[in-house]
Amino acid sequence: MNSSSILTQLIVGLSRTMILFIVSSGMSLILGVLRIPNVAHGSFYMIGAFLSYTITSFLGEGSYSFWLGITLAPIIVGLIGFFLERGFFSYLYEREHLMLLLLTFGFASILGDLVKLTWGAEYRTMNTPAFLQGSADFFGLPIPNYNLFLLLIGPVIAIILWFIFNKTKFGKIARAAAVDKEMVSAVGINVNLIFSLTFVFGCLLAGLGGALIAPIVNISLGMDHSLIMEVFLIVIIGGLGNIWGALLGSLIFGITQSFGILIWPQFGIIFPYLAVVIVLLIRPRGLLSSTW
């Protein structure tokens, strides 16, 4: 182990963090504003990946089809989210969380089966676009260009999120609604609209995460299950409903994993979970302040 391997491991860990952040910020948003513990969030991520595959394979491999894939897929996922929110979730906001949890659990199964009906049970693969193939050398160790691209996209998304939630009227209202829904509606604001938009936005982020990861993984049924666990843990250690908590949680998760692999490769997979346990022992309510 030397300084160059530590540096590459850090960069690779950070790029992994980006996908986790994009997906978990969406979940945190929905959890914070709408108070829905959305188990189906992983399904939106999976649908995003499949849609991006379909769009790029339909248009042929080229850079423009890649860009279309990562923009159109999240939008379609957002639309699906819109219909689910208006059609189902909006009727259950006054009920207990357990009801919402059960409903999202049901949707996770239904969406999984719909994906199977639409795309079949076989796994799909797509290639990274030509301009992002290959790798860059960091002191003799390779970092794939696509990981560097993710490192650029992540902060861009973070800045957009910061802008929306701190500088726009929508963001300010959404934050207020997260704290006190009755008060917000009492001053004459259409809370339903805010809720709907927030849900769509959260789904859009899940879809974007799926579309971004699609070129480097196997797009398959079950990719939602492996992710949802990690995302839930990230949201919990970060502080429920706090987007910056999601970022912090993702950083902890991604980096402990990649350093864990470097330090003790045989048991690398346990490190992020160990970090989660330590965080929860020290700060049981999460690292940053929760909106709950």
Site for other proteins in 89-118 (CB under 8 A): 116
Q: What does the alpha-carbon distance between residue 217 and residue 268 come to, in Å, rounded to a whole number?
A: 20
User: How would you class 79 by CB atoms within 10 Å of its CB: exposed for 0-12, middle for 13-18, buried for 19 or more?
Assistant: middle
Considering the rule CB under 8 A, would residue 3 count as an interface residue with other proteins? no
User: Which range binds other proteins by CB under 8 A, 67-75, 93-101, 144-152, 166-174?
Assistant: 144-152
Binding-site string for other proteins from residue 235 to residue 264, where x marks contact by CB under 8 A and - marks none: ----------------------xx--xx--
> Is the CB of 62 or the CB of 142 nearer to other proteins?
142
Considering the rule CB under 8 A, would residue 141 count as an interface residue with other proteins? yes
Q: What does the alpha-carbon distance between residue 281 and residue 114 come to, in Å, rounded to a whole number?
A: 40
User: Which range binds other proteins by CB under 8 A, 91-99, 172-180, 184-192, 214-222?
Assistant: 214-222
What are the Cα distances from residue 233, in Å, to 104, 187, 285? 17, 36, 12
Q: What does the alpha-carbon distance between residue 97 and residue 153 come to, in Å, rounded to a whole number?
A: 33
Q: What does the alpha-carbon distance between residue 57 and residue 126 come to, in Å, rounded to a whole number?
A: 8
If DSSP codes are grouped into helix, strand and coil, which group holds residue 124? strand
Considering the rule CB under 8 A, would residue 9 count as an interface residue with other proteins? yes
Considering the rule CB under 8 A, would residue 189 count as an interface residue with other proteins? no
Q: What does the alpha-carbon distance between residue 112 and residue 103 come to, in Å, rounded to a whole number?
A: 14
Among 27, 157, 212, 213, binds other proteins (CB under 8 A): 213
Nearest CA-CA partner of 29 in 288, 235, 229, 241? 241
Among 62, 106, 142, 155, binds other proteins (CB under 8 A): 142
Applying CB under 8 A, which residues contact other proteins?
1-2, 4-5, 8-9, 12-13, 15-16, 116, 120-125, 127-128, 133-135, 141-147, 213, 216-218, 220-223, 226, 257-258, 261-262, 265-269
